[in-house]
Amino acid sequence: GDGFDWAPGRAELAYVDRPPGRPATLDLRKPGEETSRRPIDRGFDWLSQPTWLDGNRLLFRSDRESDHVNVWMLDVESGTSR
């Protein structure tokens, strides 16, 4: 993967999973719960360095919709990003 970060105020880890030959995913997981993995963004776009802004918004780097790497903000509850 390409980075991870613990959510402030909640026991949840955001991380990038990049399996060979498959799309990368930006996932959330609660420690100790194997079935708690929740993909929140995926695609063949480059994903990196998830960083929590607060307990609900997550920043990450991606070349989605561009030829350049940009910083995106994702609202984890609604799934919207900008």
The per-residue pLDDT for range 26-74, each reduced to its tens digit, is 888 988 887 777 777 766 677 788 999 998 899 998 888 888 888 999 9
Measure the CA–CA gap between 46 and 33, rounded to whole angstroms: 27
Q: How far is CA 74 from CA 35, 61, 66, 82, in A?
A: 22, 11, 17, 7
Residue 70, pLDDT score: 87
pLDDT reading at 2 higher than 90: no
pLDDT reading at 1 higher than 60: no
| Stated pTM of the model | 0.79
Measure the CA–CA gap between 47 and 27, rounded to whole angstroms: 11
Residue 51, pLDDT score: 93
